[in-house]
């Protein structure tokens, strides 16, 4: 029986702490004191946290000090500059601290790039399963496996910014998830883990190919971990002039000048776009028979504390998303946004907002599956 199905009695409020939990530990970065951060997470009503387990680094050498290159310097997830981390025993210590507070841990990975680019040692689906098995072995040996909520083998598969190993010679093209090759990567890697740890729940999280969902076989997943923003289903970013710039500030300059005014010019229009995405996910869930989880959502993909960037309209759109999604009864877990972490001060400090929305999540119905 699915672990989620067996142990979840109401929809969980989950947050994404990605690779920030380990990388953002310099003074003022938000995660230097895990006890304080986790206590504050519980205070806001959350039940679970999704983190990067760095499986490729654990499999290579869990105790080595790995030098990591920044994936961006404009975003406040992770580190904006060269950083150095040891994954173990820190991963197990973090899971243990979560367990002490009754928090479940979802394991994922963004396959962070280190100096030696160890992610490119993954050449087959079996390799992908093996690095994750090594990571789960290290957690199991510490007696902490019961606190793992699920395992997401790759964030937003098959985007090559995270899954460069699927097509290292053609990073701009990658693979199509619905293709035979995309299906093989998911099916065969998951088989490795199901053989080793059959009681756990597994998935790959998605944020693309939504227009072709009917062509996808998702039977190998225990649930659908789908990321959803209003910007998926509208031309909001095109009108604003935001293009996911990672190492220069033009996108945020445009956001500061145009984003809030554009949203407030017609809130119902932008909410309707988000509703389109929610309706699509619900249909996919019902047709596939798979429950939903969403750990990154609902308004804009990228945001931060910056001059002229107000959180009010972002929170309003996120509240709409939570309420609409919760009312469908198809989610086993959902986030309030992808900014629920201590580094996003403007979002984090509004404790009442978080409590109100985590209450909404908890009061929703669970899907039948």
In the chain, which ranges are continuous DSSP H helix? 3-7, 20-23, 34-43, 55-60, 90-100, 125-141, 180-196, 236-240, 250-265, 267-288, 312-326, 345-348, 351-363
- pLDDT tens string 123-160: 999 999 999 999 999 999 999 999 999 999 999 999 99
pLDDT, residue 171, reads 78
The mean pLDDT value for 160-179 works out to: 90
Paired tokens of 60: 């290579």
The predicted model scores a pTM of 0.97
pLDDT, residue 228, reads 98
- pLDDT tens string 13-29: 999 999 999 999 999 99
Q: What is the mean pLDDT of the chain?
A: 97
- According to DSSP, the residues that pair with 297 across neighbouring strands are 228
The mean pLDDT value for 288-307 works out to: 98
Q: What is the spatial distance between Cα 369 and Cα 285, in angstroms, rounded to a whole number?
A: 10
The mean pLDDT value for 65-78 works out to: 98
User: For the chain, which residues make up each domain, given as ranges?
Assistant: 3-363
DSSP state letter for 241: T
Asked if the model's pLDDT at residue 2 lies above 70, the reply is: no
Paired tokens of 368: 């039948």
- pLDDT tens string 215-231: 999 999 999 999 999 99
On the 0-12 / 13-18 / 19+ scale of CB atoms within 10 A, 308 is exposed
pLDDT, residue 12, reads 98
- pLDDT tens string 74-133: 999 999 999 999 999 999 999 999 999 999 999 999 999 999 999 999 999 999 999 999
Confidence grade of residue 1 (pLDDT, cut at 50, 70, 90): very low
Q: Burial code of 205-230, b = ≥16 C-beta within 10 A, e = fewer? A: bbbebbeebeebebebbbbbbbbbbb
- pLDDT tens string 222-268: 999 999 999 999 999 999 999 999 999 999 999 999 999 999 999 99
Q: What is the spatial distance between Cα 130 and Cα 142, in angstroms, rounded to a whole number?
A: 19
CA 327 to chain centre: 22
CA 122 to chain centre: 21
Neighbours of 28 (CB within 10 A): 8
The CATH number of domain 3-363, selected from 3.90.1170.50, 3.20.20.80, 3.90.1300.10, 3.40.50.300:
3.20.20.80
Asked if the model's pLDDT at residue 7 lies above 80, the reply is: no
pLDDT, residue 259, reads 98
């Amino acid at each position: 029986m699915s672990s989620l199905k067996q142990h979840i009695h109401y929809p969980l409020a989950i947050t994404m702490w990605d690779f920030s939990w380990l990388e953002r530990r310099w003074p003022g970065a938000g995660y230097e004191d895990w006890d304080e951060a986790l206590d504050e997470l519980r205070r806001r009503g959350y039940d679970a946290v999704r983190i990067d387990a760095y499986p490729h680094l654990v499999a290579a050498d869990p105790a080595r000090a790995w030098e990591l290159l920044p994936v961006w310097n404009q975003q406040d997830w992770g580190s904006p500059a060269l950083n150095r981390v040891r994954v173990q025993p820190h991963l197990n210590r973090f899971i243990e601290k979560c367990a002490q507070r009754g928090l479940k841990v979802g394991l994922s990975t963004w396959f962070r790039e280190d100096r030696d680019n160890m992610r490119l040692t993954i050449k087959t689906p079996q390799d992908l399963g093996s690095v994750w098995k090594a990571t789960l072995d290290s957690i199991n040996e510490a007696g902490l496996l019961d606190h793992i909520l699920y395992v997401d083998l790759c964030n937003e598969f098959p985007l090559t910014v995270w899954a460069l190993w699927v097509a290292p010679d053609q990073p701009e093209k990658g693979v199509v998830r619905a293709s035979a090759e995309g299906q093989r990567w998911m099916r065969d890697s998951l088989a490795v883990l199901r053989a080793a740890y059959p009681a756990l729940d597994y998935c790959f999280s998605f944020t693309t190919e939504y227009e072709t969902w009917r062509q996808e076989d998702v039977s190998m997943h225990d649930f659908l971990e789908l990321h959803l923003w209003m910007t998926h289903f509208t031309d909001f970013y095109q009108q604003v002039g935001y293009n996911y710039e990672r190492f220069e500030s033009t996108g945020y300059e445009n956001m500061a000048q145009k984003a809030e005014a554009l949203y407030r010019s017609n809130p119902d229009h932008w909410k309707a776009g988000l509703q389109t995405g929610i309706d699509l996910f619900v249909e996919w869930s019902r047709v596939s028979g798979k429950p939903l989880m969403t750990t990154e959502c609902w308004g804009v993909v990228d945001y931060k504390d910056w001059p002229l960037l107000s959180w009010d309209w972002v929170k309003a759109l996120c509240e709409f998303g939570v309420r609409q999604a919760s009312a469908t009864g198809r989610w086993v877990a959902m986030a309030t946004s992808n900014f629920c972490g201590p580094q996003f001060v403007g979002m984090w400090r509004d404790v009442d907002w978080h409590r109100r929305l985590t209450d909404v999540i908890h009061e929703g119905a669970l899907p039948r599956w």
